[in-house]
Amino acid sequence: MYLPLYLLWLRVAAILYAAAAVAVFPAVLYGIVRWRKTCVHLAGMAFFFHFISCVEMLVQAHRWTPVGVREVESLLGFAVAGIFFVVWWLYDAISLGIFVLPITFFAVFVPALGPDRYTFPSEGVRISWLLAHISALLAAYVALGFSLLASVLYLVQERRLKSKHKPGEDSWWLPLDWLPPLDTLERIAHATLEFGFPCMTVGLVIGSVLAQETPLGAAYFLDPKVIASFAMWVVYVALLFVRRTAGLRGRRAAYLSGAVFLIMLAVMAANVFSRIHRYGP
């Protein structure tokens, strides 16, 4: 099967954007210089191949304006990446990449699948992708739930310690001597958040692939459940970013985790009103 040259370059760019989106998290959240350099180099190469793909696409079509949703998505991703590089060059604000690079990858990923509707080789493969999609999102929801639980227990333990209860002096119907130390609860809350984020990202990427296999096409992204899921992903990134860069801990971190959990509940409730979020044959 003939593969247009612009599509080949776009797929290379998508792979490089994905690698840069992975590298930006340790670069920003943990301040690792090696990952920072890797992220910049990968994103730069992705932008270069993306530029070649856009030019090749328009030249091959003998026009200078995009036609169709996928061409617009590709050029939109190129514009977002371009603005990011200008801002980074002027202000050395690579921290914005924690939002921009994953968004650029999502914008480029669907057009990189091809101009036609994507089809799986067999029904078994489609079911496997669907199970992976559901499993990844469920793992993300469970991780976020554990993070909220640890945060709530943190508030309870903090209040208990401030009231200076001695062992055995808690309420007779709810002894709290078994609660872990505050530092342990804080580490559990943060670790489960970090575990849930890649699960949610993988789940959304797989869901985007599954959507291309259906007749819905771009209409999939108008589904309230899908819109809410991507909004939750953005809030999730913001929560990780704020916790790490601002050193947010304790009570305020617990409140933030609770807010994200409420958004998660809204995403699950949106499924009730979803009419196009279906993967039937």
Q: What is the pLDDT of residue 174?
A: 55
Q: What is the pLDDT of residue 44?
A: 94
Cα end-to-end distance, the chain, whole Å: 26
Q: What is the pLDDT of residue 210?
A: 77
pLDDT per residue, tens digit, the chain (281 aa), is: 567 888 899 999 999 999 999 998 888 877 888 999 999 999 999 999 999 999 988 888 777 777 777 788 888 899 999 999 998 889 888 888 888 898 899 888 878 877 666 667 777 888 888 899 889 888 888 888 888 888 888 888 777 777 765 555 555 445 666 677 878 888 888 888 888 888 888 888 888 777 766 655 555 555 666 777 777 788 778 777 777 666 666 667 677 767 777 776 766 666 655 555 554 44
Our CA angle for 201, 135, 212, nearest 5°, is 60
Q: Which two tokens stand for residue 116?
A: 């036609």
- Phi and psi angles of residue 23, each rounded to the nearest 5 degrees, phi first: -70, -25
- The sign of the dihedral angle between the CA atoms of 224, 228, 231, 233 is negative
Q: What is the dihedral of CA 89, 95, 96, 102, to 10 degrees?
A: 110
DSSP codes, 52-110:
HHHHHHHHHTT-SS--SHHHHHHHHHHHHHHHHHHHHHHH--GGGHHHHHHHHHHHHHH
Q: 3-state DSSP call for residue 179?
A: coil
Our CA angle for 181, 185, 189, nearest 5°, is 170
pTM above 0.85, yes or no: no
Asked if 20 and 32 count as a contact pair (C-beta separation under 8 A), the reply is: no
